[in-house]
Structure 1
Amino acid sequence: MEENHKQNQNKFSHLVKVRDEDIDILGHVNNVVYLRWVQEVATAHWEHAAPNNIKSLYLWVVLRHEIDYHRPAFLNDEIQGFTWVGTHQGAKFERFVSLYRAGTDQLLASAKTTWCLLDAVTMRPKRIEQDILDIL
C-alpha cells in the first residue's frame, strides 16, 4: 500500500493535527486514531468534490478497512493525508489513504478501504454510476 509521496501530490489532500486525546500510554498516537484520520480524509474528499445535489442523493458506509502502520505520530504533529479511489464494482469502491508527517516524506500509515454507496432515501446499496465516477 505504500506509495511515493511525490506521486501523492496529485491526489486530494487534507491536513489534521494531533490532539492531546490522540496520545496513548506509550506517548504516541493510538492506532485507532489513524483509522479516524483515514475516514476524516475520505470524508473531506467527498465533501470537497461532490456538489450538494449529489451529496443529498447518496451516502457512503465503510465495509472494510485494511491499515498498515509505518511510523508513530506524536503530540502537536501535523498529519497530511492523501486520498484517491481505486476500482469499483457494483455499489463498492476502493479508496486509498496515505498519512504523512506534514512537510516530510515520512509515511506514518497507509490504508485501503472498501466503501459502499447508499441511496440516501432507501438506505440500500446503489450501483456506482457515471455521475459518481465523474466526481471521483
Structure 2
Amino acid sequence: MENKNPAKFSHLLQVQPEDIDMMGHVNNVVYLRWVQEVATAHWNYAAPDNLKSRYLWVVLRHEIDYLRPAFLTDQIQGFTWVGAHQGAKFDRFVTLYRAGSDQLLAQAKTTWCLLDAATMRPKRIDPDILAIL
C-alpha cells in the first residue's frame, strides 16, 4: 500500500489528551479521524475555491491497518496520495507515521465519491480535478 513518491501530500497532526483511551494510547477511532483530516487537508490545499464550492466528497469505504500505538507526546505525520479512479469514485491512500521517524503507525485505503454540491448527486471525476490531486 505504501507509496514512496515524494510528490505525495503531507500533513502534521498533534495527539491531543482526548485522543488517549483507557489503555494509555491513541484510540483506534482517532486514527480514522486522522485519515479523513489528512484527506481533507489535501483537498483544501490543492483545490481552488471554485472547485471547493462546486464539489463535495463522501466516503464510501475505509480499510485501515493499525500497526503501532501513538501516545500523548507524539506528533503524527500523515501522507496521502490518490490511486485509481472510475466514474465518480477514487481510492485514496493515507499513511500515518510518528513524526521524524520511519515508524509507520497505521495505513488506510479509502474509497471516496465526488458529489455535485448543488444536486448532491455523484459527479464523474473530470481531468481538472485529477490534475490537482
Aligned residue identity for 1:126: K
Aligned residues between the structures: 133
Match of 2:117 in 1: 120
| Offset, 1:131 | 1.1
1:17 is aligned to 14
User: Equivalent residues in 2 for 1:46-65 (5 A)?
Assistant: 46-65=43-62
Structure 2 equivalent of residue 110 of structure 1 = 107
Name 1:101's counterpart in structure 2: 98
Q: Secondary structure at the match of 1:37?
A: helix
CA displacement 1:81-121 (0-9 Å, x = unmatched): 00000000010010000000000000000000000000000
Moved over 2 A (4+): none
Aligned to 1:71: 68
Unaligned runs of 5+ in 2: none
Whole-angstrom CA distance in 2 between matches of 1:10 and 1:106? 20
TM-score by length of 2: 0.97
State the partner residue of 1:37: 34
Which one is further off, 8-17 or 110-119?
A: 8-17
CA drift of 1:10 comes to 2.8
Tell me the amino acid that sits aligned with residue 43 of structure 2.
Answer: W
Deviation at 1:8, TM superposition (A): 5.1
Does the Cα contact within 8 Å between 1:8 and 1:82 map onto a contact in 2?
no
1:89 aligns with 86
